[in-house]
Structure 1
Amino acid sequence: MTPGARIAAAVEVLDDIEARRRPAGDALKDWGLGHRFAGSKDRAAIATLVFDALRRRASSAYVMAEETSRAIMLGALRLARGVSLEEISALCSGQGHALSPLLESEAGRLAALDLAGAPLHVAGDFPEWLEPSFVAVFGEAAVEEARALAARAPLDLRVNTLKATHEKALASLAHLRPEPTPFSPVGLRLPLTADGRGAALAAEPAYVKGLVEIQDEASQLAALLAAAKPGEQALDLCAGAGGKTLALAAAMGNKGQVYASDADGRRLAPIHARLERAGVRNVQVRPQRAGADLLADLEGRCDLVVVDAPCTGTGTWRRNPDAKWRVRPGALEQRIGDQDRALADAARFVKPRGRMLYVTCSILREENEDRLAAFLAGHDDFTSVPAREMAEAADLSELAVFASRFGYGLRLTPYASATDGFFVAMLARR
């Protein structure tokens, strides 16, 4: 496919996403099935175009004064990719399945590229209804924080210390030009390829043999801040696919016990293969089942309970740019209820002088500090651990600069820490 045809295909996928209100991944998959002549490089290029357009959807529509998929794609070529007007004109030739030639009005708007006077949510490319929440958390830096969430994300890896040292992993992946992550002592960051995608790891020996795991630095830091120690009893209550479970097991040196559980047992399915590949031997997987409490024997026994609570995922928009346009106000209310229930459920497993780590991949105060305040108001047997104390206990004192100004935990963001958006806080039982 020609570059122009790829752009036209991306517009077609955007039309499908808008018409059927569904995830970009589903629309891209269906497009690929319906256009089998497109090779893997074509499909990858189209996907990158689609995601770049979704990252800058609001600002592109504003610049072009239209909300059509064509307008959003044209605007994103300028805003997200820096493609010149002359190049865009050449790509829109109307020949070989390319988009029709630019209208005079389109060319004028692409030349002006005027975002002056744009509302905050347009300049930052996020849903309008979230503007008060962004301002409440970030104040005058709200636009910069939002724009960082609209950028492409790097590919981060966690070195599995059960099988390799940081130096060994660096050497084994040297051909991919990895660099140490800024804060995580077990993190590696791989540069994006020329087409904006992460390196393919499926065939890399270091990945196949379990020397490294894919995990954003913020998620690595959350697991490290838990300060899990060999011999402890730890419960990962919302384990999902097991990223933090594996990190906890490595921090504990395969000594003690980690229990991995999740309200949705299907999310736990990938964990078994990951445990085997990583050489983890101290994890019990306990999927939750309706009508059966498979965690009852852990009540009041855990040194550490990790609550990676369900959330709106606002901190992961770099990786899931379509998700921010699908989230609705009702979803926030639902997640707040889920978070309150998760905290209350987790409390029963924490033993006296034990600790609870609360984690979300959300940057919203409603899902983070407000939830901890509500929990502590009804649980006087728990207390909040100061952010600096939590960071120092994990030998990560440099993270104290990210302490929330709202009284609890740390907030990491792409703009401030060059990570995904994460919130991490520690509670201790008296």
Structure 2
Amino acid sequence: MRLGGRMQAAAEILADIQTRHRPVPEALRDWGQAHRFAGSGDRAAISNLVLDVLRRKQSHAWLMDSDAAADLVVAALVRQWGYQIDALIEELRDDRFAPELRDPQQLYDQLSRDLDEAPEFIRADCPEWVVEECKSAFGDAWIAELQALAERAPLDLRINGLKANRDKVLKSLRTPAAGATALAPHGIRIPAPEGPRRQIAATNEVAFAKGWFEVQDEGSQLAAAMTGAQAGEQILDFCAGAGGKTLAMAAAMRNRGQIHAYDVDRHRMAPMVERLRRAGARNVQLVENADALAALQGRMDRVLVDAPCTGTGTWRRRPDAKWRLSSDTLAQRQGEQDAVLDAAALHVRPGGTLTYVTCSVLPSENGDRAAAFAARHPQFTICDSAAQWHSVVPEGSPVPEGPTAADLLLSPHRTATDGFYIVQFQRAGA
């Protein structure tokens, strides 16, 4: 496919997403099944273009004075893919599949407008109703923080220390751009590709099949490391899902001790069975029912709560989610977070720790929930996260402080990771 056909396809998919309120992966899959002539390079380019439009939909629409899908696609090609307007017009001149372009002078005038004249939420490319939350989270830097959440994300891998080391995996990948992560001690980063180019398919690598690494954002790796899991301990991963953080803790514990992985939706844990086998993790037990979970009350050295949340910290990877988020959803998540914290706290032994993690940057899901939990459970005190941070990351790395000095808030702008909130409590006693 030529550029015009790719543009038209992206516009059709965007219109489908907007009118039918569909998730991006579903819309892309259906388009691909209906257009089997499109090659893998075409599908990658179209996917990149759709996601880039969604990352900066607000500012594109403001500059173009239109939210029509074809206009947003043109704005993305110029602003994000680096096309010059003259070159774009020339490339599309004889392309019968290309969407109709505006008058060249009109395109120049619109795309050269000063974005600083736009409202703050337009410059930040976020829903207007989250502005106050973001200001509370990041202060004067909030627009820069949200703009960083509107960029493409890199591909991060976590080395499985049970089977490999970083040098071994880097050699196996043979990807010149791959290198060590800046903060996570067992991470590899492959930068996001530009324009239509595809990211490597890491899960198709032989090294992945051998269990040498997992795909995991650097921020998620740091959140798992911040639990402080040690060999020989008893640990409960209370919202384990598919097991990314469970696997990271298992490797840190060198298969000594026990991790109990639980999720209220036990079907979410099904992929973990194969992941554990591939990784060689033998100290994990899947807890599939409430009776088995109850037997762990008051016995765990550490409990990790990777709580259900709005996922605002992952907007780089799931930009459509930011336009589907509502205040009602946020309120629902807060209730779920309070409930899961209260339930998880029952399993912490005296002297043990409870680590609360979200992939959100919104204070109402983060510091507010931590403060509310501490008020309900005076036997738990908030730990100083700075010491644990320094035990994980390279010497001299600045602490990404959250609302207080005792919690952490990671973000693409601060730490070049997805957005994560991390706070740790310790239960009184010994």
TM-score normalized by the length of structure 2: 0.95
Q: Map of 1:57-76 to 2, 5 A cutoff?
A: 57-76=57-76
Paired with 1:164 and 1:369, the residues of 2 have a C-alpha distance of 37
Indicate the residue corresponding to 1:207 in structure 2.
208
TM-fit CA distance, 1:397: 6.1
Q: Give the superposition deviation at 1:72.
A: 1.4
- The letter of the residue matching 1:243 is G
| CA-CA distance at 1:196 after TM superposition | 4.7
Task: Tell whether the 8 Å contact from 2:389 to 2:399 is kept in structure 1 after alignment.
Answer: no
Post-superposition Cα deviations, 1:378-418, rounded to whole Å, max 9, x if no partner, equal: 10110000121332454666555212243541111000110
1:366 and 1:403, CA in 2 relative to 1: closer, same or farther beyond 3 A? same
Asked whether the 8 Å contact 1:382–1:427 carries over to 2, the reply is yes
| Preserved contact between residue 57 and residue 125 of structure 1 (Cα < 8 Å) | yes
Partner Cα distance (1:395, 1:133) in 2:
28
Provide the C-alpha distance between the structure 2 equivalents of 1:428 and 1:397, rounded to a whole number of angstroms: 25
Letter in 2 for 1:330: D
Answer yes or no: is the 8 Å Cα contact 1:94–1:101 preserved in 2. no
CA-based RMSD of the aligned residues comes to 1.7
Conservation of the 8 A alpha-carbon contact between 2:231 and 2:257: yes
Identity of aligned residues (%): 46
Change (3 A) 1:190 1:395: closer
What letter is aligned with 2:334? I
Letter of the aligned partner of 1:305 in structure 2? V
Answer yes or no: is 1:21 the counterpart of 2:29: no
Q: CA deviation at 1:42?
A: 1.0
Shift of 1:166: 2.2
Q: Distance in 1 between matches of 2:115 and 2:377?
A: 48
SS in 1 for 2:117: coil
AA partner of residue 296 (structure 1) = A
Q: Partner residue of 2:226?
A: 225
Is 1:83 the counterpart of 2:89? The answer is: no
Structure 1 gaps, min length 5: none
Contact 1:361 1:420 in 2 (8 A): yes
Deviations 1:3-58 (CA, angstroms, capped at 9, x unpaired): 11101110000000000011111111111111122122111110010000001100
CA distance in 1, matches of 2:175, 2:69: 38
Q: Check conservation: 1:93, 1:100, Cα contact below 8 A.
A: no
Structure 1 residues 10-409: aligned runs within 5 Å: 10-93=10-93, 95-103=95-103, 106-194=106-194, 195-288=196-289, 292-394=290-392, 398=396, 401-409=399-407
Q: Name the structure 2 match of 1:416.
A: 414
Structure 2 counterpart of 1:225, which letter? Answer: M
Deviation at residue 63 of structure 1 after TM alignment:
0.2
Q: Which runs of 5+ in 2 are unaligned?
A: none
Q: Per the alignment, in what secondary structure is the counterpart of residue 411 of structure 1?
A: strand
Displacement of 1:93 in angstroms is: 3.6
Q: Which residue identity is paired with 1:65?
A: D
Deviation, structure 1 residue 124: 1.1
Tell me the CA shift for residue 206 of structure 1: 1.3
Q: CA deviation at 1:97?
A: 1.1
Task: State yes or no: 1:5 paired with 2:5.
Answer: yes
Q: Distance in 1 between matches of 2:327 and 2:166?
A: 42
- Which whole-Å CA distance do the structure 2 matches of 1:175 and 1:343 have between them? 41
Q: CA deviation at 1:202?
A: 2.8
How far off is 1:200 after superposition? Answer: 1.1
Shift of 1:113: 3.8
In the TM superposition, what is the alpha-carbon distance from 1:83 to its structure 2 partner?
Answer: 1.4
Q: Secondary structure at the match of 1:116?
A: helix
In 1, Cα distance between equivalents of 2:180 and 2:419 = 19
**Residues 329-383 of structure 1, C-alpha deviations (whole Å, 9 max, x = no match):** 1110011011101100000000000001110000111111100100000101100
- SS at structure 2 position matched to 1:359: strand
Whole-angstrom distance in 1 between the partners of 2:418 and 2:270: 24
Give the 3-state SS of the residue equivalent to 2:184 in structure 1. coil
- Tell me the distance in 2 between the aligned counterparts of 1:399 and 1:260: 31
1:205 CA displacement = 1.6
Q: TM-score, normalised by structure 1?
A: 0.95
User: Any conservation in 2 of the 1:91–1:98 contact (CA below 8 Å)?
Assistant: no
